[in-house]
Chain A
Amino acid sequence: MRKLVALLAGLIFGLGLVVSDMINPARVLGFLDLFGGAWDPTLAFVMIGAVLVMAVAWAIASKRDEPVFGGDMPGTASSLVDGRLIGGAAIFGLGWGLVGLCPGPALAGLLVGGTSVCVFIAAMILGMGVQNMARSP
Chain B
Amino acid sequence: MNFDLTNALFGLAGGILIGLSAALLLLANGRIAGISGITGSLIALRLPAAWTESLLFLAGLVAAPALYALIVSPPAINITTSVPVLIAGGVLVGFGSRLGSGCTSGHGVCGMSRLSKRSILATLTFMAVAIIAVTISRNLIAA
Contact B134 A81 (CB under 8 A): no
How far does the Cβ of B71 sit from chain A's closest Cβ, in whole Å? 11
Q: B29 touches which one: A17, A32, A44, A67 (CB < 8 A)?
A: A67
How far does the Cβ of B77 sit from chain A's closest Cβ, in whole Å? 4
Q: Which of A61-112 contact B (CB under 8 A)?
A: 61, 64, 66-74, 77-81, 84-104, 106-112
Please report the C-alpha to C-alpha distance between residue A56 and residue B114 in the assembled complex, in whole angstroms: 9
Contact A117 B62 (CB under 8 A): no
Please report the C-alpha to C-alpha distance between residue A54 and residue B9 in the assembled complex, in whole angstroms: 18
Q: Which residue of B lies closest to A130 (CB)?
A: B95
Q: A132 touches which one: B45, B77, B137, B139 (CB < 8 A)?
A: B45
How far does the Cβ of A60 sit from chain B's closest Cβ, in whole Å? 6
Contacting residues, chain A, for B7 (C-beta < 8 A):
21, 40, 42
Please report the C-alpha to C-alpha distance between residue A122 and residue B139 in the assembled complex, in whole angstroms: 28
Q: How many A-B residue pairs have CB under 8 A?
A: 493
Contacting residues, chain A, for B12 (C-beta < 8 A):
45-46, 48-49
On chain B, the number of residues with a Cβ less than 8 Å from chain A's Cβ atoms is: 113
Contacting residues, chain A, for B76 (C-beta < 8 A):
21, 24, 26
Q: Which residue of B lies closest to A96 (CB)?
A: B130
Contacting residues, chain B, for A135 (C-beta < 8 A):
98
CB 8 Å contact bits of A5-32 with B (1 = contact, 0 = none)? 1111111111111111111111001101
Contact B109 A54 (CB under 8 A): yes
What are 23 contact pairs spanning A and B, CB under 8 A? A2-B28, A6-B25, A10-B56, A11-B60, A13-B60, A15-B65, A16-B14, A16-B21, A20-B10, A24-B76, A45-B9, A46-B12, A48-B12, A54-B26, A60-B27, A79-B116, A81-B121, A86-B121, A89-B129, A97-B134, A98-B92, A112-B75, A119-B87
Q: Residues of A at under 8 Å CB distance from B?
A: 1-3, 5-26, 29-30, 32-36, 38-58, 60-61, 64, 66-74, 77-81, 84-104, 106-114, 116-117, 119-132, 135-136
